Amino acid sequence: MQDQLKIVLIQSNLVWENAVQNRINFRTKIEAISQQVDIIVLPEMFTSGFNMNAKAIAETKEGETVAWMQDLAKQKQASIVGSIAVIEKSKYYNRLLFVKPNGEIIQYNKRHGFSLAGEDKIFTAGKEKVIIEYKGWKICPQICYDLRFPVWSRNVEEYDVLLYVANWPKARIAAWDALLKARAIENMSYCVGVNRVGLDGNNYEYPGHSAVYNVLGEKLTLENSNKETTEMVILHKMHIEKNRRHLGFLNDKDTFNLTV
C-alpha cells in the first residue's frame, strides 16, 4: 500500500472519428509527462468523440487502441484510463479500460446510456459496478452520464477514489461542476472527473472543467476551462482515513440493495 497516489488528468480536444490521429495526439501528451506517476486519465470515447456511429468507431478487445494503451502503460509504468467504443459478440459498449503497467486490463461498461442522444438504443448498458484495487487504493470507475445517478456510485465498498471520464457539454457544465463535488462529499472519497474541450462533429462545444475534489468537497485542481491541459494531482490516503474516522458520515448511511 502507498499513502500517495499521483494522478494525471489530460484534458484534450478530440478529432472526430479519427482514432489514429487521437492516439498520436495523446501519445505526445503522455510521453511529455516528465515525472513518475501512478495513473493517467483520458476522456470518454477518447479515440472518436462522443459518437453514436458505433459501426464506424467500435474496436474489438484485441484492437489497436487496447494494444496502444498497454504499450504506453508499460512505457510510463503507469496505468492508463479512458473509454472507447467496443464491439463484442455483436453488441456495442461504451467501455472504460483501466490498463495497468503489466498489461492487465480491467473494464467497466457504462451503466447509464445518454438517452437524449440515443446512446441507450445503440450501446448496451453495463450491469456491473466495478471496484479496482491498485497500489493499495480502491478505485470506482464510471462514465459521464453515470454522474447524474448517485445510487449507482454509492460508496458501500469503502472505495477511495471515484473516477469519471466524460464528454460533458458546455450547455450543462454547471451540473458537472456541482455533481462532481457532491459525489465527493456524499461518498467521503476523492472524486476525479476528466472532460474534453473543443467542438465535436455535431458542433457541440465542450468546456473542460476537469477537476479533483477531496472528501470535504474542496477542489484540488487549477482552473483550466476551455483549453487543453495536463495536470497532476497527488491524493493522500491519510486525508481519507482521518476524515472518515473523525466524521463517520458513512457509518450512518441508509441500508438498501440496488436491483440492476
Q: Is 110 a catalytic residue?
A: yes
Residue with cell 470507475: 141
State pLDDT tens for residues 206-259.
999 999 999 999 999 998 788 999 999 999 999 999 999 999 999 999 988 887
Find the Cα–Cα–Cα–Cα dihedral 195, 47, 7, 100, rounded to 10°: 150
Strand order in the sheet with 211-213: 132-134, 137-143, 161-165, 190-194, 211-213
DSSP 124: P
Phi, psi of 179, deg, nearest 5: -75, -35
Distance of alpha carbon 157 from alpha carbon 167, whole angstroms: 27
Task: Work out the average pLDDT over 123-128.
Answer: 98
Give the pairing type, strands 79-88 and 39-41.
parallel
Q: Does the annotation mark 44 as catalytic?
A: yes
Q: What is the pLDDT of residue 257?
A: 83
Number of H helices, E strands in the chain: 7, 13
Annotated catalytic, 157? Answer: no
Of 100, 129, 144, 186, catalytic:
144
Q: Which domains does the chain have, with CATH numbers?
A: 4-252 (3.60.110.10)
